[in-house]
Amino acid sequence: MSSNTVTEQLTEAGRKIEHSSFDIVTQEAGEHHYSDDQWQIVRRMIHATADFEFNGLAEFHPDAINAGIEAIRQGRPIVADVAMICVGLSKPRLSHFGVSTHQFISDEDVIAKAQDEGTTRAVQAMRKAQQKGLLNNGIVGIGNAPTALLELKRMIVEEGVKPAIIIGMPVGFVSAAESKDALAEIENIPWIISRGRKGGTTLVVSAIHALLALAESNQSN
């Protein structure tokens, strides 16, 4: 059983259910190629979706785990493509590390610029996050909008933007798989992705919660 306290369920009954679920996932998933820390993330992704295909679809940059843990321990901000990610994350767990969440998808200026320039709100939201100084050394979570991920890669390549880690898991049929393939080409910035069309905000929330748990378990190190 985990010795974590902040990143666990708040009741004993809840903790037992969650840990039993994790055990079932591990037993039914069978063999996998992930490290122990990587499996904690993949296991939560499966737990959140009941989809065992993420045992294989989830992919990690070699530095992703260490970068994610360090960013959380330093209280780096989280920039999300949609509000659902911010709502889904545990406020007490984030507060323990001093991590704030930010999303701009519905801001009036974002909508107006998207309309004027013929882009998506997601593109303009990423640009606004950069203007506010949130992307460099920040944690970026994208679970809905492939255009946000493609714009983020453009800013990395053309403008030298450098997040601490990118969790890129947009879902869908138009550019979702392609946007994640494009992110995986980046070598100097850590990332976690779900290959193919499958993804979603639930997966991003699961991955961040797993990183929070890993950060807590490593706090004494």
Q: Could you tell me which of 62, 75, 38 has the C-alpha nearest to residue 188?
A: 62
SS3 193: strand
pTM: 0.92
> What's the rounded mean pLDDT across residues 190-216?
96
For residue 72, give every residue at least 6 positions away whose Cβ sits within 8 Å of its Cβ, in sequence order, or none. Answer: 97, 99, 139, 211, 212, 215
SS3 28: helix
DSSP 76: P
* pLDDT at residue 54 is higher than 80: yes
| Alpha-carbon gap, residue 84 to 61, rounded angstroms | 25
Average pLDDT along the chain: 93
Q: How confident is the model at residue 217 (pLDDT cuts 50, 70, 90)?
A: confident
> What's the rounded mean pLDDT across residues 167-179?
96
* pLDDT at residue 101 is higher than 60: yes
The residues that are catalytic are 47
- Which residue spans within 70-186 are E strands per DSSP? 78-80, 101-102, 139-142, 165-168
| Alpha-carbon gap, residue 104 to 21, rounded angstroms | 34
User: What pLDDT is recorded for position 17?
Assistant: 80
Give the domains, in start order, of the chain with CATH numbers.
Answer: 12-217 (3.40.50.10230)
User: What pLDDT is recorded for position 89?
Assistant: 96
| Alpha-carbon gap, residue 135 to 132, rounded angstroms | 8
* pLDDT at residue 25 is higher than 50: yes
Q: Dihedral sign, CA of 38, 44, 45, 47?
A: positive
User: What pLDDT is recorded for position 1?
Assistant: 38
Q: Let me know: does 69 contact 188? Beta carbons within 8 Å.
A: no
Q: Which residue has the tokens 């919660």?
A: 209
User: What pLDDT is recorded for position 110?
Assistant: 97
* pLDDT at residue 8 is higher than 90: no
> What's the rounded mean pLDDT across residues 65-90?
97
| Alpha-carbon gap, residue 210 to 35, rounded angstroms | 14
| Alpha-carbon gap, residue 86 to 94, rounded angstroms | 10
Q: Let me know: does 76 contact 96? Beta carbons within 8 Å.
A: no
Strand partners, 192: 60, 167
